[in-house]
Amino acid sequence: MERLLKIGSGWRIGWKPDVPEFKGLVGTDDWAVELTEAELSDFCRILTQLADTMKQLATELMDEEKIACEAESDLLWMEVEGYPHAYSLRFILNTGRCAEGQWNASAVPGLLQATRILKVF
């Protein structure tokens, strides 16, 4: 059975393609929630979009200026908040079982990098 779990300081993300429903996992050192394949796909896609938006906004903001950006799909809502170079991440699962989680700014770069190399799909 193939299983991929990436763990860093304050974050973890996983993929287990051989299980029937909840193939993905996101979390921190203190909590985790299983996600469907579609939810994990949206999570990775939206996090990348939000990170790209923060990078683009860096040139338009003063150094001490904070910003919040949010995006959502039918499956989940996500928000980044902070500075373009250091921001926290929050998500709310909009599906039947509902869940929510948050990563602090120090965990987001590692989580973002892991979503890009997870090679799930």
pLDDT tier at 121 (50, 70, 90 boundaries)? very low
pLDDT tier at 97 (50, 70, 90 boundaries)? confident
What is the pLDDT at residue 72?
A: 96
Q: Are strands 24-27 and 32-35 parallel, antiparallel or unpaired?
A: antiparallel
Cα gap 68→83, rounded to integer Å: 9
What does the DSSP 8-state code read for residue 110?
Answer: H
Count Cα neighbours of 4 within 13 Å in the Cβ-side half-sphere. 12
Does the structure show a pLDDT above 70 at 6? yes
Retrieve residue 47's tokens.
């996090």
Structural domains in the chain, sorted by start: 4-117 (2.30.31.10)
